[in-house]
Amino acid sequence: MAFTITACVLLGIIILCLLKFLAGGTGLVLLGKELRSFFFSPIAWVVLALVMLLNGLSFTAALADLREGERSVTLTAYTFNSIQFWLAYFFIFPVITMRLFAEEQKLGTIETLLTAPVTTIQLLLAKYLAAVCFYIILWLPSLLNFMLFQMNSTDDHASIGSLAGSYTIILLVGMFNIAIGCLASALTKNQLVAAMTCFTFCLLHFLLGFILQNLSVPDAFRETVTHFSTQIHVRAFIDGLIDTRQIIYYTSFSVLLLSITYHVLEFRKWKV
Q: DSSP states of the chain as a string?
A: -HHHHHHHHHHHHHHHHHHHHHGGGHHHHHHHHHHHHHHTSHHHHHHHHHHHHHHHHHHHHHHHHHHTS--SS-HHHHHHTSHHHHHHHHHHHHHHHTTTTHHHHHHT-HHHHHHSS--HHHHHHHHHHHHHHHHHHHHHHHHHHHHHHHHT-SS-TT-HHHHHHHHHHHHHHHHHHHHHHHHHHHH-S-HHHHHHHHHHHHHHHHHHHHHHTTS---HHHHHHHHTT-HHHHHHHHHTT---HHHHHHHHHHHHHHHHHHHHHHHHHHHH-
Residue 126, pLDDT > 80, answer yes
Sign of the C-alpha dihedral computed for residues 185, 190, 193 and 196 taken in this order: positive
Name residues whose C-beta falls within 8 Å of residue 114's C-beta, 6 or more positions apart in sequence: 120, 123, 265, 268, 269, 272
Identify whether the C-beta of residue 69 lies closer than 8 Å to the C-beta of residue 96.
Answer: no
128-146 tens-digit pLDDT: 999 999 999 888 888 887 7
Short-list 97, 49, 113, 89, CA closest to 169: 89
Q: Rounded mean pLDDT of the chain? A: 79
Name residues whose C-beta falls within 8 Å of residue 31's C-beta, 6 or more positions apart in sequence: 125, 126, 129, 130
Identify whether the C-beta of residue 20 lies closer than 8 Å to the C-beta of residue 121.
Answer: yes
CA 235 – CA 159 distance, rounded (Å): 15
Report the share of the chain in percent with pLDDT over 90: 11
Q: Provide the whole-model pTM.
A: 0.88
CA 209 – CA 214 distance, rounded (Å): 10
CA 69 – CA 76 distance, rounded (Å): 16
14-68 tens-digit pLDDT: 888 888 888 777 788 888 888 888 888 888 888 888 888 877 777 777 777 767 6
Residue 253, pLDDT > 60, answer yes
The torsion angles phi and psi of 239, rounded to 5 degrees, stand at -75, 0
203-226 tens-digit pLDDT: 888 777 666 655 666 666 666 666
When mean pLDDT is compared across 74-78, 143-147, 195-199, the lowest value belongs to: 74-78
229-241 average pLDDT score: 77
Short-list 233, 258, 226, CA closest to 247: 233
Report the share of the chain in percent with pLDDT over 70: 80
